[in-house]
Amino acid sequence: MKNRLEFSNITKAFPGIVALSEVSFCADSGHITALLGENGAGKSTLLKILSGDIKADSGEVLLDGEAQNFKVPSDALRGGISVIYQERQMVASLSVMENIFAGELPHNKFGVINYKKLRKEAQELIDLFELPLDARMTVGRLSVAQQQMVEIMRAYRRNSDVIAFDEPTASLADTEITILFRLIKELARQGKIVIYVSHRMAEIFQITDKIIVLKDGKKVADFQTGETDEPTLVKAMVGREIGDTFNKLSRCTERGDTVLEVKNLTTKKVTDISLTLRSGEIVGLAGLVGAGRTELARAIFGADKVESGEIVIEGRSTRYKNPSGALACGVALCPEDRKEEGLVLSRSIRQNITVSVLSRIRKFIFLDNAKEKKLSDIAVEKYDIKTPSTGKLVGELSGGNQQKVILGRATNELMATKVLILDEPTKGIDVGSKAEIYQIICDFAKSGMGVIVISSELPEVLNISDTIYVMANGKITGVLSREEASEEHVLELAMAGQ
Amino acid sequence: MMTFLKSKNAILLFFLIALIVIFAALSGGGTLRPSNIINILQSITIVSLLTIGAGTLMIAGEIDLSLGGIGTMSSFVAALLLKQGVPWFAALVAAVAVGAFIGLINGFLVNELGFQSFIATLATASITTGAGYIFTSGLAVTIEDPTFRFIGNKLLFGYIPFSVLIAIIALIVYAMLLNKTKFGRSVYLVGGNRVAARLGGLKPKKVLYGLFINAGALAALAGTLLASKLLVANTVGITSSQFAGLTAAILGGISFGGGTGGMGGAIIGIMVLSCFNNGMTMVNIPPYWQTVASGALLLAAITLDFVTTSRRNKSEVKA
Amino acid sequence: MNISRLKRAFGSNYLALIAVTAAVSLLFYILNHDFLALDNIKNIMNAMSFTGTITVGMALLLIAGEVDLASGAEACFGGIVCAIAIQAGLPWPLALVAALAFGACCGFINAFFVNVVHIMGFICTLGILGIYNGLVSVVTDNHPVPAYVPSFWKLGSATVFGIFPLPFVIMVVLMVAYGLVLTRTNFGRNIFMIGGNRRAARLCGINPSRIVTALYVNNGMLAALAGVILTARMHNASPMAASTGAIDAITAAVLGGISFLGGVGGMGGCFIGILLITVFSAGLTAIGLPSYWQIVAQGAILVFALSADFFNSKARRKRLERDEIKRRREFARNKEES
């Protein structure tokens, strides 16, 4: 049984971003330590280092003073560290008991499983935590909450000394959260070191003993839960120097007619969304991870099925069912995951830019190469894409340049884009290129487009948008103008209803 | 110029030339005799049609194993119709239509029912091969229609088989299709990243339907052509050549990962394969060893393709 | 033995399958009264044994998320190796062992390509299938290889309790044995884990490559065994023997509830799957339809089985989604009220 987990001067940088900078704190056995911070603060990076998924650039993770050296995740598991993520790591077709004891089912020397023993031990564990589960149930039939409990049981059975939770209550109902909390408290009572990563204030005050606040990769506060309150925490989480970047922007001040009206839109992931966007306006969608912003964008773009509600473009109600239809109506989307969803990496810059307008660069039945080259040259110049030629493969470009290719694809002159949706346009991009992109976004607005920007960086979404819609749990929780919005207010709205 | 020399196609071309030279030497010049060259050209035709169909599907990231069955079944359809006195044009169109229809079924299974393409086409392969047997009760059907025989056997200028014209036209048409039309471009984009292609406004399902139907139609044409050449439609038919299409495509640099490759490489692959098969016969390698060699060639081609693809992927990730 | 485990061993659609099999048998009986005569039933059992033995190996591979399209050729080759060994003077038990060893080698080769070169199972076994088909013809010069040892033939013709042909009994014993391994041993459960969630399996300390290798080797040996038994029954090893072996095995397995994506299924379902397709094809023969109808039928049944699998999992997913949405909406509603 280990007594203390310590992070000592952990630093981790990715190309263009410093994710963690000299983070140090410790967590003791028998206590529940919270890791609080907004998106991009560094919480998930820290967890990945803890679980052995990635390695820190410098600094150490120490268990009872001994530095841990994990090369692969299974090292961390064997070292006694379990991280419960949001994605389930189980085999749905097997039973609860088989998943709890996965890989180490009790067997005799011939390998024959002793099912009686397995069931007994699994059920004992389940009963110890007073969970409403039967060891023989098939995991695939359980609800998300119940599956999570199975995973916690597995971590416990492994005799992990450290059990970390990453946003565990994201998909849970009230009653399930109560059971989960009892479970977590019991884990602490049994002497485990529990780390609880979350952005939900109410819960943090409910079960944690100590709170570590991360902001921009640094540890900014270290409180005992009983000695602090919500406003103090929020203040610690936000409030940063934005500098001149946003002040120097040349914005669009004129507003035209309404280009996009979303009326009571409901899909599987979002409920009853209503939103208005005018020509020349930049609307920001703020919220925490899982709030439903990307899902809303996809619904507006026709990529996901709409169950009810209406999308009205320039006064005309639309009925498109796929991205192709949305593009024909003048709606364009730049997806969140550049490499997986936004670009065909094995093709050239030219071919990626013209994906959406192939019908329009035709001469009779053939593609007009000259037109295509001209179009992409214009885009390269307009967005200052650094490349020796437009024939270069997109997979070989830097992140910033790749993003610009996607922008070029969505906004070239053959597109007549009226509504442009940008999902995390500056993710993974260095500071210098970010400023460039902010101006490009303002220029879009100036040219008459309506722009929707989704961003998890509060200062970014606050300062680029004219109007901010805050989302939580698939719904809109607030609408603010740039003047009246503040980081604290937005964060509160983003955490509302949790 | 340098990039071409280092490219896969250049290596293949080199291999092709080496192959021709070696077999010519081993056969005492036999492979270079006009009558043999005619044979090679005729087999190139058949393989080309199959390779175009299989190759375009592979670029889009799918595979079609039913082409042999489709070819055989269609050749029977054509032969039987001819026997009933149906004019040659109608019989040909009917055969191709049947092939296209099976292709449509393949597309349906993959698009709407979510089957993996290899298992879906494996199933249709069974069905079409069996159907071919059923139509004819296992017996061969002779083709007596003069036009068909002409198409299959006439030599232009005494040397060039008429059917080669068909292959050349097909290769040129499809090369242009892939490189210069919206549909062709969509094939590459869908194969390269299906999700991104969809979010960019393309319709992957439509593309796949088109490709499967096309492959089926081409396979039907190939099967019918073979039957015309042999003057008889039988159950062996084209079934033995279907892996040839696949092998030639892979040899020609059409990566199984999807999204890369083209007709240029495919042509070289087709020629390599045809010369390889022909050369083995001319050097008197026993027929069953030829089957082994063909299978080994396929395996070698796949291995080579995977090895070079993964090395390429690794360097992409670093960037 | 409780109900849920029994259900899992059989796969989810076993009742429907039994019903269909019974209906089909009834149909054929009406069309030809000899269909259910004892002799014919023995034929059916014999026919089942060949495909069934191959299916056992294939099922394990499928559950792990792999496949071997060359199983039929491996079976054919196994029988040939045995026959050749017998001709060379080896006593037949040794010839059997030689065939099994050969099958194991085939498995190693497959595993090499899948694990080391990282080629997907279906494409590499496709290539290997071509090679083996050719080699079979080379080795036998396309003639059946006689295996003229009457004591050997007993392997194919002996009966247990006077009714059940030995090949059938062997198949059943293998199915029960492997079924037990699947459901009651650590190794078996690990196979499910690899197929169900390979990453999670690795994180739990399981070594997928080693298990996959074992499964391919096992599959090769079982295929070879099937070939040997067929040789014993036919008194010779024919190069034509097993052209559709792999597809039949896959069809039977998928019919029996083994999902193509891995992680699901059981031996009981496989048994019923094999029963159904064999009954079906025997029925077609009984009513006078020539064998090529059966090839069509195989393909059609495979399409049917996979479609059923698709619709099943789609329905299951929809049900789960609907439940989640309902809960979430209720949750939101409760929150608003409070």
Question: Inter-chain contact A356–B200, Cβ cutoff 8 Å?
Answer: yes
pLDDT of residue C10: 46
**CB neighbours (10 Å) of residue A69?**
11
Q: Is the pLDDT of residue C58 over 90?
A: yes
Q: In this model, does residue A296 exceed pLDDT 80?
A: yes
Sequence-distant (6+) residues with CB within 8 A of B29 are none
Residue of higher predicted confidence among A224 and C314: A224
Kindly provide the residue ranges of all beta strands, DSSP E only, lying in A314-395, ordered along the sequence.
316-317, 331-334, 362-363, 366-367
Q: Retrieve residue A416's tokens.
A: 């007549």
In the numeric block, the tokens 């009983």 are attached to: A226
CB contact under 8 A, B199 and A340: no
Contact A454, A287 (CB under 8 A): no
Distance (Å) from the alpha carbon of B193 to chain A's nearest alpha carbon: 5
- Name the more confident of A106 and A28: A28
A335/B contact by beta carbon, under 8 A: yes
Residue C15 lies in a domain: no
Is residue C286 one of the residues assigned to a domain?
no
Q: By CA distance, what is C128's nearest residue in B? A: B295
The chains in contact with chain A, meaning 3 or more Cβ pairs closer than 8 Å, are: B, C
Q: Is C190 on the interface with A (CB under 8 A)?
A: yes
Chain A hits for C329, CB-CB cut-off 8 Å, are: 271
Residues A306-318: tens digit of each pLDDT: 999 999 999 899 8
**Which residue in B122, B290, B295 is closest to C127 by CB distance?**
B295
pLDDT 10s digits, C239-258: 877 677 888 898 888 888 78
C-alpha to C-alpha distance for B125 and C298, rounded to whole angstroms:
10
Please state, rounded to an integer, the average pLDDT across all residues of chain A: 86
- What lies within 8 Å, CB to CB, of B172 at 6+ separation is none
Q: Give the lowest-confidence range in A334-338, A431-435, A472-476.
A: A431-435
Instruction: Indicate the residue of B186, B199, B260 with minimum beta-carbon distance to A335.
Output: B199
Interval B200-241: pLDDT, tens: 999 999 999 999 999 999 999 998 888 887 777 776 666 667
Can you give the pLDDT at residue A498?
55
Q: Which of C122, C281, C196 is nearest to B120 (CA)?
A: C122
B253 min Cα distance to partner chain A (Å)? 14
**For residues A295-307, average pLDDT:** 93
C161-205 residue pLDDT tens: 878 889 999 999 999 999 988 888 888 888 998 888 887 888 777
- Mean per-residue pLDDT for B134-163? 75
Q: A with B: how many residue pairs have Cβ under 8 Å apart?
A: 78
Subunit contact A341:B199, Cβ cutoff 8 A? yes
Residue type, C14: Y
Q: Is residue C119 part of a domain?
A: yes
pLDDT for A255:
87
**pLDDT at residue B319, as a whole number:** 21
Any domain includes C258: no
Q: Tell me if C253 is assigned to some domain.
A: no
Number of domains in chain C: 1
Cβ–Cβ gap C197/A89 under 8 Å: yes
Confidence at residue A168, expressed as pLDDT on a 0 to 100 scale: 84
The predicted model gives B162-172 an average pLDDT of 87
Three-state secondary-structure class, residue C207: coil
Give the integer Cα–Cα distance in Å for A379 and A415.
12
Strand order in the sheet with A419-423: A331-334, A419-423, A450-454, A282-287, A467-472, A475-481
Residue C123 resides in a domain: yes
HSE of A216, CA atoms in CB hemisphere, 13 A: 9
pLDDT at position B257: 62
- Mean pLDDT of the B28-40 span: 80
CB of C218 within 8 Å of any CB in chain B?
A: no
Note whether B130 and B228 are within 8 A (CB).
no
| Structure token digits, residue C52 | 């069934």
A395/B316 Cβ within 8 A = yes
pLDDT of residue A324: 92
User: What digits encode the pLDDT tens for the residues A124-182?
Assistant: 888 887 777 888 888 887 877 788 888 888 888 888 889 999 888 876 777 778 888 98
pTM of the predicted model as reported, rounded to 2 decimal places: 0.82
pLDDT value of position A465: 92
Pairing of strands A210-215, A218-224: antiparallel
Over range B173-185, report the average pLDDT.
91
For residue B203, the model assigns a pLDDT of: 93
pLDDT tens digits, C102-153: 999 999 999 998 887 776 777 788 888 888 888 888 788 778 888 888 888 8
- pLDDT tier for residue B318 given thresholds of 50, 70 and 90: very low
Q: Which residue of A has its CA nearest to B259?
A: A346
In angstroms, rounded to a whole number, what is the distance separating the alpha carbons of residues A60 and C228? 61
* Residue at C200 is within a domain: yes
Interface test with C, best of A82, A93, A99, A307 (most C CBs within 10 A): A93
Q: What is the mean pLDDT of the segment spanning B77-81?
A: 87
For the packed helices C92-111 and C71-87, what is the interaxial angle rounded to 10 degrees? 150
- Calculate mean pLDDT across residues B69-80: 89
Residue C39 domain flag: no
Element (H, E) at A63: strand A58-63
Residue C186: which of A73, A77, A107 has the nearest Cβ?
Answer: A107
Q: What is the pLDDT of residue B316?
A: 33
Taking 80 as the threshold, does the pLDDT of residue A219 lie above it?
Answer: yes
Q: What is the pLDDT averaged over residues A447-454?
A: 93
Nearest Cα residue in chain A from C316: A141
Which chains does C contact via 3+ CB–CB distances below 8 A?
A: A, B
Q: For residues A434 and A427, what is the distance between their CA atoms, to the nearest angstrom?
A: 9
Select from A358, A360, A411 the residue whose CB has the most chain B CBs within 10 Å, as the one to mutate to test that interface. Answer: A358
Note the pLDDT of residue C2. 46
User: Among partner residues A324, A346, A397, which is closest to B203 by beta-carbon distance?
Assistant: A324
Q: What percent of chain A has pLDDT over 90?
A: 31
- Banded pLDDT at B6 (limits 50, 70, 90): low
* pLDDT (0 to 100) of residue B314: 43
Token pair belonging to A391 = 């024939």
Say whether B319 and A395 touch across the interface (CB within 8 A): yes
In the block, tokens 């390599």 appear at B272
User: Would the pLDDT of C275 be above 50?
Assistant: yes
CA distances (Å), A369 to each of A351, A363, A395, B28, in order? Answer: 10, 9, 22, 48
Of residues B113, B126, B295, nearest to C296 (C-beta): B126
Residue A211, beta-bridge partner list: A34, A223
Measure CA A401 to chain center: 22
**Cβ contact, residue pair B180, A356, below 8 Å:** no
Contact C185 A111 (CB under 8 A): yes
Domain with C105 in it: 49-244
Q: Which residue did the predictor score with more confidence, B105 or C335?
A: B105
Q: What is the dihedral of CA A464, A466, A468, A469, to 10 degrees?
A: -120
Smallest Cβ distance to C130: which of B123, B287, B294? B294
Per-residue pLDDT band at C11 (split at 50, 70, 90): very low
Please give the residue of chain C at the shortest CA–CA distance from A496: C335
DSSP category for residue B199: H
B93 or B37: which leads in pLDDT: B93
- Record: contact B291-C137, CB cut-off 8 A: yes
> Does B115 or A376 have the greater pLDDT score?
A376
What CA–CA distance (Å, rounded) separates B42 from B37? 9
CB contact under 8 A, A395 and B185: no
Does pLDDT of B33 surpass 90? no
